[in-house]
């Protein structure tokens, strides 16, 4: 279990949904990205600030497992934790839960840390230290 989990809230909008009134499956990576961005802001620096410093964190893999659907106006809790922090690699684990504790999705995104030139570079030590409390020990 991680020692800390960051949680981001999202209310499902019409734009998220299909004609069947549930979130379109391809929309979930956008929700995870929003949670990841808020997680970094919570730590004190946005992705834009890292970009202005010449560091980028592109996605290299996405793994999602769907358990239930979320519908328009559902309030979602998007939990974010770390699954990997090493060298130039980051792994984020996610769980989306809706009302009454219903598990909607679990997933993971893997990222590299690169310079503007596209060359891989080690994660900044300060960032590694900030993320460490969120690292999943399972």
Please tell me the predicted confidence (pLDDT) of residue 32.
98
More confident call, 1 vs 77: 77
Burial 45-70 (b: 16+ CB within 10 A, else e): beeeebeeeebbbeeeeeebeeeebb
Q: What is the pLDDT of residues 71-124, one digit of tens each?
A: 999 999 999 999 999 999 999 999 999 999 999 999 999 999 999 999 999 999
DSSP SS3 for 51: helix
C-beta separation of 5 from 83 below 8 A: no
d(CA 95, CA 12): 16
Nearest to 72 by CA among 6, 7, 8, 27: 27
What's the mean pLDDT in 68-72? 96
- Residue 40 main-chain phi, psi, to 5 deg: -65, -40
Please tell me the predicted confidence (pLDDT) of residue 138.
61
Banded model confidence at residue 137, pLDDT cuts 50, 70, 90: confident
d(CA 24, CA 32): 14
d(CA 124, CA 129): 9
Where do the domains of the chain lie, and which CATH numbers do they carry?
6-10+29-68+77-134 (3.10.129.10)
Please tell me the predicted confidence (pLDDT) of residue 56.
97
Q: What is the pLDDT of residues 34-46, one digit of tens each?
A: 999 999 999 999 9
C-beta separation of 37 from 1 below 8 A: no
Banded model confidence at residue 21, pLDDT cuts 50, 70, 90: very high
């Amino acid at each position: 279990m991680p020692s800390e989990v960051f949680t981001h809230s999202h209310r499902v909008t019409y734009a998220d949904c299909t004609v069947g009134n549930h979130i379109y499956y391809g929309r979930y990576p956008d929700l995870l990205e929003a949670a990841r961005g808020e997680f970094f802001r919570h730590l004190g620096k946005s992705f834009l600030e890292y970009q202005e410093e010449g560091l980028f964190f592109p996605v290299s893999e996405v793994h999602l497992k769907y358990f239930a659907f979320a519908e328009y106006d559902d309030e979602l809790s998007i939990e974010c934790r770390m699954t990997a922090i090493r060298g130039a690699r980051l792994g984020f684990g996610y769980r989306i839960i809706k009302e009454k504790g219903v598990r909607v999705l679990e997933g993971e995104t893997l990222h590299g840390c690169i310079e503007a030139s596209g060359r891989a570079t080690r994660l900044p030590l300060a960032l590694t230290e900030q993320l460490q409390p969120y690292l999943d020990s399972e």
